[in-house]
Amino acid sequence: MVPYHNHGKRLLRRVLLLLGGASILAFGLFNVHSRSQITEGGVLGMTLLLQHWLHLSPGVSAPVIDVACYLLGLRFLGAGFLKWALAGSAAFSAFYNLYEHFGYVLPSLGGRPLLAAVLGGLFVGAGVGLIVRAGGASGGDDALALVIAKITRCPLSRAYLATDLTVLALSASYIPLHKIACSLVTVTVSSFLIERISAKTDG
């Protein structure tokens, strides 16, 4: 009876962490990123790159890239990871749709790109950090970073930075450098927070 009770508490904690992380991430992406045009690394940045150079819609490329990353996660992290990753993705989508329904609650930071970059990085870092801490993922970016970290044994923050910086470097082929600079701030802040939050243990 006691082991079952403890398992129930651990499961509830993971669910709450995942839902909390998904809500924070969706809030930041909707209220900050979507209004300030902060350029992204990872899967989103890659879809925008493909759209610009190959005229391939993100609606087509994003699912393909995400599925490929999730299959890597299944291969190297196991079926348990895939289950929580899909739950994280679904929770993020649900919260994002909810915020779209109610509209913006933060003022636009389009004219203050550096502030938007820092604030956006804080929301992404806290949100993704909680989701990863719960054992899930919000998208293919997280799955890929977790796989890289496991294979190379490098810190998770470096794995995120490696994927983000690669995409941002390629994005410099069509995006103004001042926007790339703000994006570097965002991915640096978010990578640091993800590492710190996801590494914490619930003692």
Predicted confidence at residue 51, as pLDDT, reads 81
172: helix, strand or coil: coil
pTM value is 0.85
Angle at the Cα of 172 from the Cα atoms of 56 and 125, rounded to 5 degrees: 85
Predicted confidence at residue 73, as pLDDT, reads 94
Predicted confidence at residue 75, as pLDDT, reads 95
Structure tokens at 31: 């209220």
What is the CB neighbour count within 10 angstroms for residue 192? 16
CA dist., res. 157 & res. 11, Å (int): 26
CA dist., res. 118 & res. 171, Å (int): 20
Strands, DSSP E only, in the chain?
A: none
Tell which residue, 124, 123, 122, 130, has the closest CA to residue 19.
130
Find all residues with CB under 8 Å of 150, minimum gap 6, and list them: 76, 77
Alpha helices in the chain (DSSP H): 2-28, 34-36, 42-54, 58-77, 79-102, 113-133, 140-152, 156-171, 177-199
Predicted confidence at residue 192, as pLDDT, reads 92
Q: Which helix (H) or strand (E) holds 113?
A: helix 113-133
Q: Cβ distance 28 to 123 under 8 Å? A: yes
Average confidence (pLDDT) per 10 residues, the chain, 203 residues: 69 94 92 77 82 81 88 93 90 89 89 90 94 91 94 93 92 85 91 89 51
Predicted confidence at residue 203, as pLDDT, reads 46
Give the chain's end-to-end CA distance (angstroms, integer). Answer: 21
Predicted confidence at residue 5, as pLDDT, reads 63
Angle between helices 113-133 and 140-152 (to 10 degrees): 70
